[in-house]
Amino acid sequence: MKIKVGVIFGGESVEHEVSIISAIQAMNKMDEEKYEIIPIYITKDREWYTGEMLKDIDVYQDLNLIKNYSDNVVLYYKNGSYVLQKKHGLFRRVVKEIDIAFPIVHGTNVEDGVLQGYLQTIGIPFVGSNVYASVAGQDKTIMKAIWEEAGLPMTKYVWFYDSDYRKDREEVIQKTKTLKYPLIVKPATTGSSVGINVCENESSLMDAIDEALQYDSKIIVEEVVENLKEVNIAVMGNYENQKVSEIEEVLSGNKFLTYEDKYIGSGKGGKLKGNKAAVKTTSKGMASTNRKLPAEIDKKMREEVEEIAVKAFKALGSSGNSRIDFLIDEKAKKVYVNEINSIPGSLAFYLWDAKDINFTQVLDDMINIGIKDYKKRVSKTHSFETNILQGFAANNGVKGMKGAKGKLR
């Protein structure tokens, strides 16, 4: 019997379109002899849809097609099963049952623990990091605090809330003076290089902060690594066991890897939304980024990157397949861990492919880890029998429903 895998993607995120690309790539590579693949698309207004047509990227040019020809559903636990049930209509029938959820989502409101929290609340097995690791993996300030405690090398940084900046702009700017220009400004909890800018002076810093505040309520400012070489590596596993992928060197003409570098590549398609040519241009997702694979680094530095990557993965309690990004000062021969992507674009399949582990095997490994994580989670005690409510109302001045009925009417 096939395992029913519900692939969840989309969502209310600035990386919505990238998620669609990553999910369709994955669904096309899953082993159909092992798995029944059930697409579950979340629109930008948080409606859930399922249907075979959602495996075709051309469908996403017209949301009306999805609304008219796929099923608007809710996912919940019913009679011992996890079901996708129609949300509207006279007969709200169950459309599909699923055995395990596979979130292939990017960014805030989905990758950041929000979706994982819902899945964990209803009790369904799911692929990837749990709520805690997902939160830490999305919020750069939490991530860095954990890595700092673990003694991992990072660039110097400061962070602040939007309310801090509105209340006393001068105090925030003074805080950044502990750092050395050039600086890079980032929204702390978004991804895909949206709202990120490099600043050479205080004037450009303030402009960059104003832009970043459009995307997030928490902002992080970091020192830029000089003589930069940017490399990435993927780690597969959980807190017990890990393995590492090949290391890539990312090539960009910019001071940081932009959204266009990551997803548009050399194409001229423009934005994804409403532009069929752009969707075709970006259909390779992160696989379209200009790169050297393997990276041109010596054996000692390669081993250092691998060692730090595993430590970073374990420190956050990550699970599944994460990509960890590094910044290297080539002149000083210094390696800095930059950030983790708990659900990386294209699931970083190309980094495993370079080690002769194909995308189908990567997906299989991720699902198996998700099943193991679920078995471990349900083996722990999370609740116990208690009589704490017996006599609570009488002893604490709280009336029972009988006495409260009259007042509630």
Look up residue 129 and give its DSSP letter: -
SS3 318: coil
Q: Give the residue ranges of DSSP H helices in 241-337.
A: 259, 276-281, 299-316
Q: What is the pLDDT of residue 284?
A: 57
Same fold, 3-126 and 137-151+226-251+290-375: no
Helical H segments across 45-176, by residue range? 63-69, 114-122, 131-138, 140-149, 162-167, 169-176
Q: Determine the pLDDT at residue 272.
A: 37
Tell me the C-alpha distance between 387 and 405, whole Å.
Answer: 24
Segments making up each domain of the chain, as ranges: 3-126, 137-151+226-251+290-375, 157-223
CATH homologous superfamily of 137-151+226-251+290-375: ATP-grasp fold, B domain (3.30.470.20)
pLDDT of residue 409: 47
According to the CATH classification, is domain 3-126 in 3.40.50.20? yes
pLDDT tens by residue, the chain, 409 residues: 999 999 999 999 989 999 999 999 999 999 999 999 999 999 999 999 999 999 999 999 998 889 999 999 999 999 999 999 999 877 789 999 999 999 999 998 999 999 999 999 999 999 999 999 999 999 999 999 999 999 999 999 999 999 999 999 999 999 999 999 999 999 999 866 788 999 999 999 999 999 999 999 999 999 999 999 999 999 999 999 999 999 999 997 655 555 455 544 544 333 333 333 334 434 555 555 789 999 999 999 999 999 999 999 999 999 999 999 999 999 999 999 999 999 999 999 999 999 999 999 999 999 999 999 999 999 988 776 776 667 666 666 666 555 555 554 4
pLDDT value at residue 381:
81
Sign of CA dihedral 358, 23, 126, 89: negative
Whole-number pLDDT of residue 273:
36
Question: Options 3.30.1490.20, 3.30.70.270, 3.40.50.300, 3.30.70.141; which CATH number does 157-223 get?
Answer: 3.30.1490.20
C-alpha span between 404 and 402 (Å, rounded): 5
| 212 touches 197 (CB < 8 A) | yes
